Amino acid sequence: MSIGEYPATRMRRLRRQPWSRALVAETQLTPADLIWPIFVRDGTDIAEPIATMPGVFRHSVDRLPALMREAEALGIPAIALFPYTQPERRSDDGAEALNPDNLVCRALRAMRDTGANVGLLTDVALDPYTSHGHDGLVDDSGYVLNDVTVDMLVGQALNQARAGADIVAPSDMMDGRVGAIRAALEADSLHDVQIMAYSAKYASGFYGPFRDAVGAGGYLKGDKKGYQMDSANAREALREVALDIAEGADSVMVKPGLPYLDIVARVAERFDVPVFAYCVSGEYAMVEAAVAAGMLDKDRVVLELLTAFRRAGASGVLTYHAPHAARLLNG
Ligand code: PBG
């Protein structure tokens, strides 16, 4: 038997049996890696379907405690809340963001009251509340003003934290907002409220279904390219992450997910904070549309896709498939 008659290294040996594949798996996906985004609306006993996100609903506040317990039972550690704001509560300055009785605050209180061991994450940005659909305050020319927006975001984050948010997640991409929010939380003795910074948030076409879900689609004037990142850039994402960590972020996020897996990997390699990826509405919609058309096997692709984020170095993934994936993983 000489070398050349057979392969010196047989890579398939480790793959042959299920027990061996389990033994040598380099990454694990568990329900503890998932954050479940949930849309909230007013009313009672309503689960309203979202046309562009089949299987996802806008839930009235009274339904949220049950979803919180469902997350706990499935082993999903955190829920992210997004409000669908009625048109009459939208204004140029997004003042509803500061209302201690707004939809998100009521949702937080109702969910907190369950006592479930599930973290609650809230989005800090003005777009659910502005009549122009931007994440900040705009001047007459349509320019999104940075520093006055940061003042509003600080108020919004405090409002959420006082109502029970465990993690505030600024998704607005204004400069300096993480530091300002951190200082305000400290000054208000909210030392243990985490900041998960949407550090590398790209101006993306994949947010389309989300904007339908929160009712912002029809409002948005122009686009968000003046503050969200350009998909052509990667090194810029590393600068954004470094700044947010220096300003006091506890964890950072890359968003969208799949088209930016290279960014997830680079951030995870370079920095020692937990990195999350947001597999956004458009990514969810792509999978669901292909599954509905009979083109893909949902269970297989959902787990494969979420495992990819873990392989790239993410601590966890925000995904609308969270409950489905958790059920699969729990067997
Ligand atoms: C709001 C916000 C957006 C998303 C999360 N927070 C939309 C946007 O920036 O326009 C998108 C999430 C998704 O598409 O699933 N600032």
Task: For the chain, give the percent of residues with pLDDT over 70.
Answer: 99
Per-residue model confidence as pLDDT tens digits over 261-285: 999 999 999 999 999 999 999 999 9
Q: Give the global pTM.
A: 0.97
How many other CB atoms are found less than 10 A from the CB of residue 294? 7
C-beta 204 within 6 A of ligand 1: no
pLDDT reported for residue 3: 63
CA of 210 to the centre of ligand 1 (A): 6
C-beta 210 within 6 A of ligand 1: yes
pLDDT reported for residue 127: 95
pLDDT reported for residue 221: 84
* Position with higher pLDDT, 219 vs 200: 200
Alpha carbons 235 and 170: distance in angstroms, whole number: 21
Over 70: is that where the pLDDT of 65 sits?
Answer: yes
pLDDT reported for residue 218: 77
What average pLDDT does range 27-55 have in this prediction?
Answer: 97
Alpha carbons 320 and 284: distance in angstroms, whole number: 7
**Which atom of ligand 1 lies at the shortest distance from residue 208's CA?**
14
58 lies in which domain range?
A: 30-329
C-beta 283 within 6 A of ligand 1: no
What average pLDDT does range 109-117 have in this prediction?
Answer: 97
Number of domains the chain contains? 1
In a domain, 280, yes or no: yes
C-beta 280 within 6 A of ligand 1: yes
CB 221 within 8 A of CB 194: no
- Phi/psi class of residue 57: alpha, beta or left (left: φ > 0; alpha: ψ in -120 to 50)? beta
117 confidence band (pLDDT: 50, 70, 90)? very high
Angle at 263 between CA 305 and CA 174, to 5 degrees: 115
C-beta 212 within 6 A of ligand 1: no
**Which residues participate in catalysis according to the annotation?**
201, 255
How many other CB atoms are found less than 10 A from the CB of residue 155? 16
Task: Tell me which residue of 303, 305, 321 sits closest to 30, measured CA to CA.
Answer: 303
**Which atom of ligand 1 lies at the shortest distance from residue 280's CA?**
15
CA of 326 to the centre of ligand 1 (A): 23
In a domain, 139, yes or no: yes
In a domain, 12, yes or no: no
**Which atom of ligand 1 lies at the shortest distance from residue 282's CA?**
14
pLDDT reported for residue 219: 82
CA of 36 to the centre of ligand 1 (A): 14
In a domain, 20, yes or no: no
What average pLDDT does range 122-135 have in this prediction?
Answer: 96
CA of 282 to the centre of ligand 1 (A): 10
pLDDT reported for residue 1: 56
What average pLDDT does range 205-229 have in this prediction?
Answer: 90
pLDDT reported for residue 215: 83
Q: What is the ipTM of this complex?
A: 0.97
Alpha carbons 88 and 165: distance in angstroms, whole number: 25
Average predicted confidence (pLDDT) for the chain? 96
C-beta 52 within 6 A of ligand 1: no
Per-residue model confidence as pLDDT tens digits over 175-209: 999 999 999 999 999 999 999 999 999 999 999 99
C-beta 123 within 6 A of ligand 1: yes
Annotated binding-site members: 240
Pocket probe mutation, ligand 1, options 39, 210, 224, 283, max atoms within 8 Å of Cβ: 210
CA of 200 to the centre of ligand 1 (A): 12
The residue written with tokens 């220096």 in the block is: 246
Annotated binding-site members for Mg(2+): 240
Pocket probe mutation, ligand 1, options 129, 280, 320, max atoms within 8 Å of Cβ: 280
57 confidence band (pLDDT: 50, 70, 90)? very high
In a domain, 268, yes or no: yes
In a domain, 21, yes or no: no
Residue 317 sits in a domain whose CATH number is: 3.20.20.70
In this structure, the residue with its CA closest to atom 11 of ligand 1 is 207
In a domain, 94, yes or no: yes
C-beta 207 within 6 A of ligand 1: yes
Q: How many CA atoms lie within 13 A of 286 on its CB side?
A: 15
Over 70: is that where the pLDDT of 42 sits?
Answer: yes
In this structure, the residue with its CA closest to atom 14 of ligand 1 is 207
In a domain, 6, yes or no: no
Alpha carbons 131 and 133: distance in angstroms, whole number: 6
CA of 7 to the centre of ligand 1 (A): 50
